[in-house]
Amino acid sequence: ALLASAWGCSKAEREQPRPPIVLISIDTLRPDHLEIYGYTRKTAPNIARLAEDSIVFDRAFSTAAKTTPAHASVFTGKYPHNHGLRVLGEELADENSTAAEILSRHGYESSAYVSSTVMIDRLSRLGQGFALWDDHLPAREMNRDNFERKATGTVRAALETWPRTPAPAFLFVHLVDPHGPYVPPPPFRLRFQDRKGEILDPSMVPDFQKLSGAVVVGDYIDSYDAEIAYTDSEVGTLLAEITKRDLYDAALIIVTADHGESFGEDGYYFRHGKTLHEVSTRVPLVVKPPGGRRAGVSSIWGGTVSLVDLLPTMLDYAEVASPDDLDGLSLRPILEGATEIDERFVFSERPAAGGGHWAVHGEHGSVVIADCTPGTHDCSDTYLARADSGRLIEIGEQTATRVRLRNMLDAFVAKVQTHHVPFTVTIRYRPGDKDFVKRFVIDHNMKWESYTDEDLKFLGALGYVDD
């Protein structure tokens, strides 16, 4: 049965069992490369099938265009300036309360399976509150000394060990594959071969992204889409097994991304984080409520939402009160059919030396400002408006919507620039320190692959190791 919203639920409805919660984050996934968002290629049929039981959020945005700050926002329900993890290499401070910590206090078994170097708990502290944070990364990426685990391995690890107790379960799965370099495994590697677009100046392509034989933009987009198709196949494996275990119908299932990817729209190719253009900050968001989408509820929500909304949504369905200091709002009213909801404005952040980049997003577009000197508002802005077709158009004139968005963003920036978190943020490493990261991950993987008797005893006590 579908759990009712806190506004107007009966006693019988409130006493329904708390749902399993499944959160799937697909790294670097642009929504406009999924057929459920209008893409002409069928890149993600399994996500499309999930969408049949779900609400698809058309205007969902990340708080940052980098992996760990964005995931910290997912887990804490806060913007980066409030949770403190603002750049790669910083740790999430223990003073934050995370989804896993809160849910675990209320009887949930929390398990996570991640796929990239930056998500290692000892480098990010994103694993706070999880009984298991599986960050074994056995493969080295092509072209650089980052390590990863392919989607097949991550999903297999999750299905081997989750759930292991009768407690309600919170499962987090992070799949990195659409992140560059775009090297999908066979048979997906040859799935798309249109090879369209302009010839690329090789100097525009980051070294870690360079593919042998790639000449035009379409060569890279073909491979990117093939990575999505491969990842979607493993999402399908995960969802099929959840269904087989009779957990699908009762579960709250969320599929989203940490950020997008630039294909030249903002002057950068095959990377993210350089700007807060919508191609890097807009993310897919598909949410299946327990019991599936109710009859009469629209399958698409066009209002603006943020990754900070995921924590209060999960807590709402778990019948757990949200902390008072969250930046996010529960999406449960929308998921259960509410329509009279005011337009929402959400924000993205990118700290930078001597200033920063900031963005505000609304239903009709985004305003992005860059190189803001602290204490001033003397920054240039870019207005990205949405046409009736949904297409993004950069507009130069000062429209009423642009002025309104800019005023909101100026107020947000002024608040952030005078804000200081009441705790110390530890810098675990500098992203440019490649030697440290390589040595660390090699040592880290040796620990995963060579458990001591004490390690096995500890994991066994948690129920993750068979006798």
Quote the tokens at residue 394.
Answer: 């950069």
pLDDT value of residue 409: 94
pLDDT of residue 447: 77
Q: Alpha carbon of 254 to those of 24, 119, 287, 389: distances in Å? A: 6, 19, 5, 26
User: What is the reported pLDDT for 144?
Assistant: 78
Name beta bridge partners: 361: 346, 366
CA-to-CA distance for 441 and 146, rounded, in angstroms? 8
Closest Cα to residue 115, out of 89, 149, 159, 141? 149
What does the pLDDT read at residue 295?
A: 95
Q: Quote the pLDDT of residue 105.
A: 96
Strand partners, 365: 362, 385
Instruction: Judge whether 119 lies within some domain.
Output: yes
DSSP for 98-138, written as a single string? -HHHHHHHTT-EEEEE--BGGG-HHHH-TTTT-SEEE----
109 and 231 together in one domain: yes
Asked whether residue 424 is assigned to any structural domain, the reply reads: no
pTM assigned to the model: 0.91
Q: Which residue has the tokens 């259960």?
A: 336
Given this model, what pLDDT does residue 134 score? 96
Final residue belonging to a domain, choices 282, 316, 335: 335
Domain count, the chain: 2
Sign of CA dihedral 426, 431, 432, 433: positive
Closest Cα to residue 311, out of 336, 284, 331?
331
Q: CA 332 to CA 309: how far, in whole Å?
A: 10
Is 351 found in the same domain as 218? no
Residue 352 within any structural domain of the chain: yes
pLDDT of residue 391: 75
- 190 lies in some domain: yes
CA distances from 52 to 224, 229, 305, 387 (A): 25, 18, 20, 26
Residues 248 and 381 in one domain: no
Q: How far is CA 405 from CA 352, 374, 381, 387, 414, in A?
A: 22, 20, 11, 16, 14
CATH code assigned at 200: 3.40.720.10
User: What's the pLDDT score for residue 379?
Assistant: 77
Ranges of the chain whose pLDDT falls below 70: 1-16, 354, 373-378, 388-390, 450-467
Residues 350, 329: one domain? no
Please check whether residues 321 and 410 belong to one and the same domain. Answer: no
Residues 71 and 115 reside in one and the same domain: yes
State the Cα–Cα distance between residues 236 and 46, nearest whole angstrom.
5
Residues 101, 33 share a domain: yes
User: What pLDDT, in 10s, does the model give residues 14-60?
Assistant: 456 899 999 999 999 999 999 999 999 999 999 999 999 999 999 99
Q: Are 307 and 74 in contact (CB under 8 A)?
A: yes
In terms of DSSP H, where are the helices of 23-106? 45-51, 67-76, 80-83, 99-105
Answer yes or no: is 300 within a domain.
yes
Please check whether residue 449 lies inside any domain of the structure.
no
Do 270 and 376 have their domain in common?
Answer: no
Q: Measured between alpha carbons, how far is 403 from 185 in angstroms, rounded to an integer?
A: 47
DSSP-assigned beta bridge partners for residue 134: 113
> Which structural domain, as residue segments, surrounds residue 397?
346-417
Assess if residue 202 is contained within a domain.
yes
CA distance 269 to 257: 19
Rg (CA), the chain: 21
In a domain, 1, yes or no: no
Can you tell me the distance from the alpha carbon of 325 to that of 243, in angstroms, rounded to the nearest whole number? Answer: 36
Q: Which of 290, 316, 335 is the last residue of a domain?
A: 335
Phi, psi for 287 (deg, rounded to 5): -125, 120
Which of the listed residues 335, 361, 395 is the one where a domain comes to its end? 335
The predicted pLDDT at position 3 comes to 25
Domain match, 246 and 380 both: no
